[in-house]
Every structure is written in structure tokens, then in C-alpha cells.
Amino acid sequence: MSVTQSSPGRGPVIGTSSGYELVQGSREFRTLRRRLGYFVVPVTVMFLGWYFLYVILAAFAPGFMRITVFGEVNIGLCFGLLQFGSTFLIALGFGRWAPRNFDPLAARMRQRLETGRKP
């Protein structure tokens, strides 16, 4: 199966119409997909759950959010700042993870597909 470059901007057209399906089914591609999924899916579920927990508490448990932690700082404020903290953590974590564990593999596959070697 060969992959050839067609008119610029249209992307490569694979020799046979099911060429991309062959690539999609290849072990290398499935590894790539699984690796990203293992990071992205649980983290997405977690941060959305964490965010909506916060939202629901703010809407329906204002008394809880007003409990003082120290001085004038209450649970609501801490919870809000923790949302900032978790967002920074996930962003920087993914920013470190992707170039080490995903980008090189993806770039290698792209290179191979665009130069027309077998996947």
C-alpha cells in the first residue's frame, strides 16, 4: 500500500480507498491511540466531575461554602482556588507528558506515511 502526496492542501490520498482503514487497524496506530486515550479520557472525566461538584456545591450548599477556614477566607474561596490549582496542574502535566510520550510517536508515523512506506 502506498501513500502519495496529492495537490497541496488536500492531504495525501492513499492508493486504495481503504488505505486509512489499514493504518487505523495497524498495531502501531492502535498503540498511539491507546496511549493518548489513557491520559486524556480519565483526566477529562475527572476535571469535569471536579468542576461540576464545585458548581453544584456553590449553587445548592452555600452554607457549606461559607464555613470559615481562617480569617475571612472560607471553604468556597479555597475550593475556587483549588479549581485554579488543578487546572494549572493538568495543563502543565499534559504539556510535559505529550512531548515525551505522544508527539515523537505521532511524528514518526506521519513521516512514514507521508514518505510512502508501509505503516
Give the β-pairing of 3-5 and 12-14.
antiparallel
Distance CA 54, CA 68 (A): 17
Q: Taking the complex as a whole, how short is the minimal distance between the CB of residue 7 and another protein, in angstroms?
A: 11
Q: Based on CB atoms, which residue is closest to another protein, 27 or 59?
A: 59
Distance CA 50, CA 38 (A): 19
Q: Which residues contact another protein by CB under 8 A? A: 3, 8-12, 17-18, 20-21, 23-24, 29, 32-33, 36, 40, 43-44, 47-48, 51-52, 54-56, 58-60, 62, 65-66, 70-74, 76-77, 80-81, 83-84, 87-88, 90-92, 94-95, 98-99, 103, 106-107, 109-110, 113-114
